[in-house]
Structure 1
């Protein structure tokens, strides 16, 4: 059973000289190992919520619990060392080498020189920048994407229990951004870190998060899996927010594990198998190619963990509104049309 990493209880934040709450009555739970993305328009309260976690802002009312402890009762300096923080403006120290930048917090914690050097090498390898080539460089000698990787390595240096990331890829070109997203997914899977990631990009939110918080006017509109948010929006606001993602785009950003159901039978050699990290557009293609009624979903060790049924899939594809109660999305009614769209 997963531990509760963070718990928000009736959290509210109102800044002085304002008439409305920046964050209003938020009560959610984040389990250890969750990758939570926080999505919303500018001014929706997503960054304010994030900053209350590491006490850059103090809540006006309500409480946040970190592994069962009320963060207001923890010494701020000690608590923040358990939290990694990565922002869009990376803030690397320009006069310090890559290695020294990463070593900042371990030095404050008085780690031994040997332990620090080993950690720097480990993290550089983890973020795909080998120490022999990068540890002695200065930030000015790195690209924007490389600087962001070093910022991530620095945030992880003291092995924090929770990572907070505030639009870290927002100022990076599209191709580099996609590469960094893929790298972050790989790192999170390897380390099982609990991550809260703020973004205003819908595709990024659904690609990265195993759960997504949708915010508007300081309130949580929906806290759910990407699959449920896209196909079962909780209200009109969420439906309008995701309406720009047509059915094909949805399938390209949702993984098989988001739609998996319990096995109804014992799989055999005649079945079609697909990994849980494969995207649903690949699942759809498998259905069309094989004519099977179910496809078996496997874990990283190729062991069956569940199945996806064509009836379940077809219902989503043929639903009147494709998940939107406004009816704003086009209905896709023919398999051939969907198949052609995916491979166009």
Structure 2
């Protein structure tokens, strides 16, 4: 059973002279190994919530627990070393090499030179930038996407238990952004890190997260799997937020594991198998190609973990055809732009 990595208990944040809370009444738990994306419009409280986790902001009331310990009772410097933090403005030290940038926290922790060098090479390999080619380069010699990879490696250098990521790909071009998203999914699958990832992009939130927090006006509107949010929204705001995503777009950003059902039979040699991280649009194609009534979902070790039935996906297609809503999320009759500029 997974341990609880983070627990929010009735968290509230109101800044001085503000007329309303930036975050209000948030209570939820994040399990170890979860990839939780936080989605909301500008001013919804998502970045404020993230910054309260690493105590850049202190909550006005309520408590946050880190593996069962109240973070207010922990020494800030020691606590932050257990958390990786990646932001849009990467903040690499321009006068330091790639290797020295990654080694920043391990040096503070007084790791041995041999251990630091091994960790730098390990992380460079992990983020797809081999050490022999990149460790002696300077940030100015890297592309924006490469710099963001180094920022991610630096945040992981001391093997933090939790990673906080605040719009890390927001300033990257669309193609590089997609590549970085795919790379992050690969890294998360390999390391099983607990990640909180803030974004204002619906596609990014549902592609990356196995759980998604939808925020509006400082409150959590829904905290659920991408599948349930897309097909079982908790309220009108969430329903209208996701309404612009048609069924094919939805299937492109939902993984097989989000729709898997318990096995109702014993698999045999004629069955088609898919990985749990395969997206549902690919699963749909396999149904069309094979004519099968169900497809077996397997885990990273190749073991069956469940199945997806044709009737299940066909039902989603039919519900879309019968009358999907359109429009932007609304609040008190006012249209809301989910892609509005971010103000922190």
**TM-score of the pair, normalised by structure 1:** 0.92
Listed as ranges, the gaps of 5+ residues in structure 1 are: 330-344
Q: Match of 1:71?
A: 71
Q: Match of 1:328?
A: 326
Q: Match of 1:210?
A: 210
Q: Distance in 2 between matches of 1:184 and 1:157?
A: 15
* C-alpha contact 1:5 1:31 (8 A) present in aligned 2: yes
* C-alpha contact 1:232 1:323 (8 A) present in aligned 2: no
Q: Distance in 2 between matches of 1:190 and 1:273?
A: 21
Q: Distance in 2 between matches of 1:33 and 1:131?
A: 27
Distance 1:212 1:289, change over 3 A: same
2:90 aligned counterpart, secondary structure: coil
Q: Distance in 1 between matches of 2:120 and 2:278?
A: 32
* C-alpha contact 1:260 1:297 (8 A) present in aligned 2: yes
- 1:300, CA displacement in angstroms? 2.1
Written as runs of structure 1 = structure 2, the 5 A alignment for 1:112-151 is 112-151=112-151
Q: Match of 1:42?
A: 42
* C-alpha contact 2:246 2:320 (8 A) present in aligned 1: no
1:52 aligned counterpart, secondary structure: helix
2:269 aligned counterpart, secondary structure: coil
Q: Comparing 84-93 with 110-119, which one deviates more in the overlay? A: 110-119
Q: Distance in 1 between matches of 2:271 and 2:113?
A: 54
1:26 aligned counterpart, secondary structure: strand
Q: Match of 2:201?
A: 201
Q: Comparing 289-298 with 9-18, which one deviates more in the overlay? A: 289-298
Q: Match of 1:106?
A: 106
Q: Comparing 270-279 with 150-159, which one deviates more in the overlay? A: 270-279
2:6 aligned counterpart, secondary structure: strand
- 1:301, CA displacement in angstroms? 2.5
- 1:276, CA displacement in angstroms? 1.4
Q: Distance in 1 between matches of 2:287 and 2:322?
A: 19
* C-alpha contact 1:231 1:323 (8 A) present in aligned 2: no
**TM-score of the pair, normalised by structure 2:** 0.92
* C-alpha contact 2:247 2:316 (8 A) present in aligned 1: no
Deviations 1:113-147 (A, max 9, x none): 11111111111111111111111111111100010
- 1:313, CA displacement in angstroms? 1.8
Distance 1:323 1:127, change over 3 A: farther
Q: Distance in 2 between matches of 1:61 and 1:147?
A: 37
Q: Match of 1:242?
A: 242
1:84 aligned counterpart, secondary structure: strand
Q: Distance in 2 between matches of 1:8 and 1:281?
A: 35
Q: Distance in 2 between matches of 1:109 and 1:127?
A: 23
Q: Match of 1:334?
A: none
- 1:321, CA displacement in angstroms? 7.5
* C-alpha contact 1:316 1:322 (8 A) present in aligned 2: no
